[in-house]
Amino acid sequence: MNRRVVVGLDGSAESVAAAHWAAREALMRSAPLHLVHAETWSPRPGVPAARSEERRQAARTLLRDACDELLDRHPRLDISAESFDGQPAPSLARATAGASMLVLGSRGLGTLRGFVLGSVGMAVIHAVEQPVVLVRAAEDTLPHDQGRHLDRGVVVGVDTGRPCDALLSFAFDEASRRGCTLHALHSWMLPPLAGSGFAYSREVNAQIARTERNGLDDMLRPWRDMYPAVDLDAQATVGPSSQQLLEAGSEAGLVVVGRRIRRSSVGMHIGPIAHAILHHSTAPVAVIAHE
């Protein structure tokens, strides 16, 4: 049986959009969908027990209404729901154990199109080693959008100097399931000398470009062989990686980035590229943890 898709639900418009995105993803994978709501409602000093019971009942109502709405739109969906009394990050991490992915909603940056990754979202990303997908409550991901997220292409950022099977496996698998183009983007920067007023010759620049392109082709070759039906668009471009990915992903159905798993308990860094994509992407973003 395919592993379930888990979505965190808190009643916000963003989490509702995430639930609908996750429902379509679960159907595409022939996998069950599991809704999770987590918050601390245990009685605390000075808080009446009745108040805690009200919040617990509100959580049950939230999950029941969400299930009804999703089943009304997707009658074939295998759906379940669960609420936790506890902090969201560790609760969602426990619920996601053994799942194929976790889907979360994230609010937009005011008049800018992008994500706000708050402390809870950041904590969840670091607590979960399965893929985490961030979805905004934007026009292109609201419930009425039935199929566009499947056919707009998948964009993945790759670093030829640090091969990552987990990242490419997820990206190729998503493109294969969706039947869409996979845009694999490797960005590189000219050596410092080239940007200090001493331009390299055209031949030297061309040689650097060929080397970068060959490295990308070498990295992708085994994946081309494993997924021959995937329409692969591989590009090696000059410029900042985050900027190149944001431009390439502006019309994508999904942008895929990696983050290194940090075993240290100090800090929760996800890397500058993933950080930039999460905060400014107009498309859903999948964060893939890897060693």
**Predicted confidence (pLDDT) per residue in 220-250, tens digit:** 999 999 999 999 999 998 888 889 899 998 8
* Best CA proximity match to 134, nearest among 118, 152, 111: 118
Mean pLDDT to the nearest integer, 281-288 = 90
Among 23-37, 84-98, 174-188, the least confident range: 84-98
Architecture of domain 148-291: 3-Layer(aba) Sandwich (3.40)
- Note the pLDDT of residue 272: 80
**Predicted confidence (pLDDT) per residue in 118-146, tens digit:** 556 777 888 888 999 999 875 444 444 44
**Contact indicator for 153, 258 with CB cutoff of 8 Å:** no
**Contact indicator for 174, 227 with CB cutoff of 8 Å:** no
CB atoms under 10 Å from CB of 48, counted, come to: 9
* Of 47 and 162, more confident: 162
Q: Is the pLDDT of residue 81 over 90?
A: yes
pLDDT confidence tier of residue 191, bands split at 50, 70 and 90: low
Taking domain 1-146, whether its CATH number is 3.40.50.620 is answered by yes
When the pLDDT of each residue in the chain is averaged and rounded to a whole number, the result is 83
Share of the chain above pLDDT 70, in %: 80
Spatial distance between the Cα atoms of 243 and 224, rounded to a whole number of angstroms: 26
- Note the pLDDT of residue 50: 61
| Residue 113 Cα distances to 20, 32, 106, 186, 201, angstroms | 20, 31, 11, 24, 40
Q: What is the layout of strands, in order, in the sheet containing 132-135? A: 79-85, 33-39, 5-8, 101-105, 132-135, 285-290, 254-260, 154-157, 182-188, 232-238
Among 36-45, 124-133, 209-218, 278-287, the least confident range: 36-45
Among 93-97, 184-188, 229-233, 258-262, the least confident range: 258-262
pTM: 0.86
Report residue 9 CA to chain centroid gap: 16
Two domains, one topology: 1-146 and 148-291: yes
**106 in the Ramachandran plot: left (φ > 0), alpha (ψ -120 to 50) or beta?**
beta
- Note the pLDDT of residue 110: 38
Domain ranges of the chain: 1-146, 148-291
* Of 21 and 270, more confident: 21
- Note the pLDDT of residue 105: 87
Spatial distance between the Cα atoms of 235 and 94, rounded to a whole number of angstroms: 38
